[in-house]
């Protein structure tokens, strides 16, 4: 029978370790998917204040730490509690008074967990924090490697990294110290306190009442009692670690986000109206003040002004990356706040000064917004933006992260084609040609009319010569529109625009 039981138990052992670990892996897989999915729902504002590396740490390392919780900690605690209950029942059957004496262990054990939590929680949080710092530093370093090397700052970035690493190590050591002080030592001490209490009870109160047999059984049971206890105690460290890591993961999950909706809206005509819009990124600092303007469908609106005057911020509002503090933005008369941001963006295209490309081929990057586009459609938009000779031949070349292997002109043309392929009703070009050489710019300018055809286009440009044809030019200064009109109107006004224009003409002439 004993042999049978052992064979039987080994099956359960297998089941416990296999299925428990498998479900731990499943849980972590699900958790990671959830976190990743949640990230894309978060507003752009969130990413202003959270470095990429730190977020990566939460998605990869912190979820990993949570895995331990399911893998070993919960199993140990669960089987430990079952085991403890069994032993307590046996103790009570054996002798009620002695059993009551051992009950004292439970509050002690509980107090211990609490006490350990008090000391370890802070350390664990620090370890996770430093882990995130290390990730963030690494991420920043890799992305900025050329600048670091150009400025000969290898050793200073090394120093900063070492500092984070050092702090991580020190917190780890402190935690290690705490763990070594507590785990086995403490069970040992507790056990002996209990035995002392036992001897004291026997010798003082009523010696001779217990038979040797009862005492022997009792001592044996108490020894067994400490087995699950010390196992649980040895898992406390992992429990705490998982707690700290889990907290970070769930903080991220609790961030308010907007679920991407399947809503679609029919393609708007493209009438855009800003009505007394006020906006700030941070409470104190007003970035846009009382902005009112109207862009009719099909028009081209140019935004000019010094750097930092709020041009890009206006476009951020239009794309609903941020929402205005006051005032309304309407498209075809409908408040953009009442539309789903996803449905709205379906009909909007954007080209930024620093185009972002993804891993894949050039053609895949162009069809990013409409993966189902055919090869001919891709070729057509490439031709339209005037990039036939430049990116036509490299359509199948692989693009690595951010398109580091392409020139900025090539990247820019790809991003023009990408915006055009979705046939947006509203197109935003935010200093889109500032980074390209004049020759490429000329190419793009040629295609520009094709680009603007049938859509409302917002152009932000430094080179005023590129926006002369705009239907309306808005001149911004510190978040306010100071002048507006066509190129000719503005020249006649003899104001800011004229000064800017003449300054550029002067430089061009010289
Ligand atoms: N994400 C942001 N968080 C906080 N402040 C920002 C952010 N983006 C821009 N700003 C600030 O808002 C102001 C307007 O910036 P921006 O619209 O980018 O100017 P422009 O595009 O005209 O050069 C600047 O003072 C800038 O420092
Ligand atoms: Mg800008």
Task: State whether 339 and 409 are in the same domain.
Answer: yes
Is 267 inside any structural domain? Answer: no
Output the CA 333–ligand 1 centroid distance in Å. Answer: 27
> In this predicted structure, what is the pLDDT of residue 19?
87
Ligand 1 atom with least separation from CA of 430: 21
Question: Does 281 contact ligand 1 (Cβ within 6 A)?
Answer: yes
Q: Which CATH number belongs to the domain containing residue 372 in this structure?
A: 3.40.50.300
In the prediction, which pLDDT does 13 show?
85
Residue 204 is assigned to a structural domain of this protein: yes
**Which range among 8-22, 164-178, 256-270 shows the weakest confidence by mean pLDDT?**
256-270
Tokens of 429: 């070009």
Q: Please state, in angstroms and rounded to a whole number, the distance separating the CA atoms of residues 120 and 390.
A: 59
Query: Of ligand 1's atoms, which has the minimum distance to the CA of residue 313?
Result: 17
Q: What is the whole-number distance in angstroms between the Cα of residue 272 and the centre of ligand 1?
A: 22
**What was the pLDDT predicted at 199?**
80
- Residue ranges of alpha helices (H) inside 258-374 are 311-318, 341-345, 362-366
pLDDT of residue 133: 93
Ligand 1 atom with least separation from CA of 45: 1
Q: Indicate if ligand 1 lies below 6 Å from the C-beta of 433.
A: no
Predicted local distance difference test score (pLDDT) of residue 448? 74
How far apart (Å, rounded) are the C-alpha atoms in residues 222 and 281? 63
Among residues 392, 406, 324, 393, the alpha carbon closest in space to that of 357 is found at 406
Ligand 1 binding pocket includes 48 (Cβ within 6 Å): yes
Residue 282 alpha carbon, nearest atom of ligand 1: 4
Atom from ligand 1 closest to the CA of residue 44: 1
Mutate to test the pocket of ligand 1, among 285, 308, 322, 324 (most ligand atoms within 8 A of CB): 308
What is the CB-side half-sphere exposure of residue 322 using CA atoms within 13 A?
21
Average pLDDT over residues 116-137: 92
Neighbour tally for 450: CB within 10 Å: 14
Q: Is residue 477 part of a domain?
A: yes
| CA 283 to ligand 2 centroid distance, Å | 20
The verdict on 199 and 309 lying in the same domain is no
Residues 53 and 197 in one domain: yes
pLDDT at 459 > cutoff 90: yes
Within-domain flag for 1: no
CA of 315 to the centre of ligand 2 (A): 9
Helix (H) or strand (E) holding 47: helix 44-48
225 and 348 fall within a common domain:
no
Both 214 and 340 in one domain: the answer is no
Among 253, 281, 316, give the residue marking a domain's end: 253
- Judge whether residue 88 has pLDDT over 50: yes
What would the two tokens of residue 16 be?
A: 């416990």
Are residue 166 and residue 290 in the same domain, yes or no? no
Q: Read off the tokens for 240.
A: 């705490």
Query: In ligand 1, which atom is closest to the CA atom of 314?
Result: 17
In the predicted model, is pLDDT for residue 443 greater than 50?
yes
Lowest mean pLDDT among 147-151, 297-301, 451-455, 482-486: 451-455
Instruction: Say yes or no to pLDDT of 130 above 90.
Output: yes
pLDDT at 225 over 90: no
**Residue 427 in contact with residue 458, Cβ under 8 Å?**
yes
Is 392 within 8 Å of 379 (Cβ atoms)? yes
Cα–Cα distance for residue pair 282/39, rounded to 1 Å? 22
pLDDT at 304 over 90: yes
Residue-wise pLDDT tens digits, 335-364? 998 888 888 888 999 998 888 899 899 999
Residues 170 and 247 in one domain: yes
Supply the residue whose CA is at minimum distance from atom 12 of ligand 1. Answer: 287
308 lines ligand 1 (CB under 6 A): yes
Residues 276 and 247 in one domain: no
- Tokens at 3, concatenated: 């042999």
Q: Do residues 299 and 293 lie in contact, with contact meaning Cβ atoms separated by under 8 Å?
A: no
Q: Is the dihedral of CA 463, 468, 471, 473 positive or negative?
A: positive
Ligand 2 ion: nearby residues, β-carbon < 5 Å = 312
List pLDDT tens digits, range 394-409. Answer: 889 898 877 788 888 8
Q: Alpha-carbon distance 429 to 421, whole Å?
A: 15
Distance 313 CA to ligand 1 centre (A): 6
Tokens standing for residue 29: 């897989």
- Residue from 321, 328, 322, 340 nearest 294 by CA: 328
- Beta-strand runs (E) in 192-343: 272-280, 286-295, 300-305, 326-331, 334-335
Q: Is the CB of 303 under 6 A from ligand 1?
A: no
> Do 243 and 391 fall within a single domain?
no
Mean pLDDT across the chain: 88
Give the model confidence (pLDDT) of 178-218 as tens digits: 888 877 777 788 888 888 877 877 776 555 567 788 888 88
Rounded Cα distance, 210 and 260, in Å: 72
**CB contact set of 270 (below 8 Å; sequence gap of 6+):** 295, 297, 298, 331, 332, 425, 426, 455, 456
- The Å distance, Cα 365 to ligand 1 centre, comes to 28
Kindly give the number of the ligand 1 atom that is closest to the alpha carbon of 311.
22
Mean pLDDT of 39-44: 89
Give the pLDDT of residue 208. Answer: 57
Residues 208 and 288 in one domain: no
Q: Ligand 1 within 6 A of 307 CB?
A: yes
pLDDT at residue 140 tops 60? yes
Element of type H or E holding 21: helix 2-39
Other CB atoms within 10 Å distance of the CB of residue 434: 16
Tell me which of 48, 281, 283 to substitute to probe ligand 1's pocket, judged by most ligand atoms within 8 Å of the beta carbon: 281
Residue 259 placed within a domain: no
Task: Write the burial class of residue 242 (CB in 10 Å: 0-12 exposed, 13-18 middle, 19+ buried).
Answer: buried
| pTM of the full structure | 0.79
User: Does the pLDDT of residue 29 top 70, yes or no?
Assistant: yes
Closest ligand 1 atom to Cα of 431: 21
Among the listed residues 336, 391, 329, 400, the one whose alpha carbon sits nearest the alpha carbon of residue 366: 391
Q: Whose CA is nearest to atom 26 of ligand 1?
A: 308
d(CA 475, CA 77): 67
Is residue 510 scored above 50 in pLDDT? no
Closest CA to 438 of 412, 417, 457, 416: 412
Q: How many domains does the chain have?
A: 2
State how far the Cα of 83 lies from the Cα of 135, in Å rounded to an integer.
42
Query: Residue 435 domain-assigned?
Result: yes
Report the DSSP beta bridge partners of residue 486. none
For ligand 2, the distance from its centroid to the CA atom of residue 390, given in whole angstroms, is 27
Ligand 1 site, residue 302, Cβ cutoff 6 A? no
Q: What is the mean pLDDT of residues 83-93?
A: 92
Question: Within this chain, do residues 294 and 206 fall inside the same structural domain, yes or no?
Answer: no
Q: Report the pLDDT value the prediction gives residue 209, as an integer from 0 to 100.
A: 66
Nearest bound ligand to the CA of residue 306: 1
CATH number where 46 lies: 1.20.1560.10
Q: How confident is the model at residue 76 (pLDDT cuts 50, 70, 90)?
A: confident
> What's the distance, CA 237 to chain centroid?
27
pLDDT of residue 189: 82
Residue 260 lies in a domain: no
Pairing of strands 472-477, 480-485: antiparallel
What percent of the chain is modeled with pLDDT above 90?
Answer: 42
The DSSP string of 395-406 is TTSEE-GGGTTS
Of 253, 285, 304, which residue constitutes the final position of a domain?
253
Distances from the Cα of 203 to the Cα of 197, 218, 342, 480, angstroms: 10, 16, 79, 91
- Given a contact cutoff of 8 angstroms between Cβ atoms, the answer to whether 43 and 257 are in contact is yes
Asked if the structure places residue 266 within a domain, the reply is no
Instruction: Give the helix ranges, DSSP H, for 425-494.
Output: 438-452, 487-493
Q: What is the pLDDT of residue 252?
A: 92
Domain extent, residue 239, equals: 12-253
Tens of pLDDT along 488-500? Answer: 999 998 888 999 8
User: Within this chain, do residues 212 and 323 fall inside the same structural domain, yes or no?
Assistant: no
Ligand 1 pocket: which of 287, 304, 309 to mutate (most atoms <8 Å of CB)? 287
Q: What is the dihedral of CA 314, 318, 322, 325, to 10 degrees?
A: 70
């Amino acid at each position: 029978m004993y042999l049978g039981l052992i064979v039987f138990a080994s099956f359960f052992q297998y089941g416990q370790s296999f299925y428990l670990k498998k479900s731990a892996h499943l849980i972590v897989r699900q958790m990671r998917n959830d976190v990743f999915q949640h990230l894309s729902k978060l507003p752009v504002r969130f990413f202003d204040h959270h470095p990429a590396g730190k977020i990566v740490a939460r998605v990869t390392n912190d979820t990993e730490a949570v895995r331990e919780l399911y893998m070993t900690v919960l199993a140990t605690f669960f089987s430990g509690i079952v085991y403890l209950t069994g032993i307590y029942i046996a103790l009570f059957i054996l002798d009620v008074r002695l059993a009551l004496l051992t009950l004292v262990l439970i509050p002690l054990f509980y107090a211990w967990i609490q006490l350990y939590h008090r000391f370890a929680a802070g350390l664990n949080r620090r370890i996770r924090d430093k882990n995130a710092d290390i990730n963030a530093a690494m991420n920043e370093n890799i992305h900025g490697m050329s600048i670091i090397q150009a400025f000969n700052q290898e050793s200073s970035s090394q120093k900063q990294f070492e500092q984070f690493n050092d702090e991580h190590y020190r917190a780890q050591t402190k935690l290690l110290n705490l763990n070594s002080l507590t785990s086995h030592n403490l069970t040992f001490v507790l056990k002996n306190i209990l035995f002392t209490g036992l001897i004291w009870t026997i010798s003082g109160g009523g010696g001779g009442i217990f038979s040797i047999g009862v005492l022997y059984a009792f001592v044996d049971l108490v020894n067994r009692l400490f087995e699950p206890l010390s196992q649980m105690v040895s898992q406390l460290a992992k429990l705490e670690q998982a707690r700290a890591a889990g907290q970070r993961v769930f903080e991220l999950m609790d961030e308010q986000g907007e679920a991407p909706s399947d809503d679609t809206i029919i393609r708007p005509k493209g009438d855009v109206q800003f009505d007394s819009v006020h906006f700030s990124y941070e409470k104190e600092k007003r970035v846009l003040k009382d902005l009112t303007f109207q862009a009719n469908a099909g028009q081209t609106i140019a935004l000019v002004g010094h750097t930092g005057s709020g041009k890009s911020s206006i476009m951020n509002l239009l794309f609903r990356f941020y929402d205005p503090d006051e005032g309304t933005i309407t498209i075809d008369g409908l408040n953009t706040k009442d539309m789903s941001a996803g449905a709205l963006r379906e009909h909007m295209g954007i080209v930024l000064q620093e185009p972002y490309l993804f891993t894949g081929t050039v053609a895949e990057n162009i069809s990013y917004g409409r993966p189902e586009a055919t090869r001919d459609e891709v070729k057509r938009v490439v031709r339209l933006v005037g990039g036939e000779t430049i990116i036509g031949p490299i359509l199948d070349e692989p693009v690595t992260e951010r398109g580091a292997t392409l020139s900025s002109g090539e990247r820019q043309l790809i991003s023009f084609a990408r915006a055009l392929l979705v046939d947006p009703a509203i197109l935003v070009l935010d200093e889109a040609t500032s980074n390209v050489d004049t020759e490429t710019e000329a190419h793009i300018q040629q295609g520009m009319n094709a680009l603007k055809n049938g859509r409302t286009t917002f152009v932000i440009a430094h080179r005023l010569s590129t926006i002369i044809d705009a239907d309306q030019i808005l001149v911004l200064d510190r978040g306010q529109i100071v002048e507006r009109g066509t190129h000719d109107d503005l020249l006649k006004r003899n104001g800011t625009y004229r000064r800017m224009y003449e300054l550029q003409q002067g430089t061009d002439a010289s």
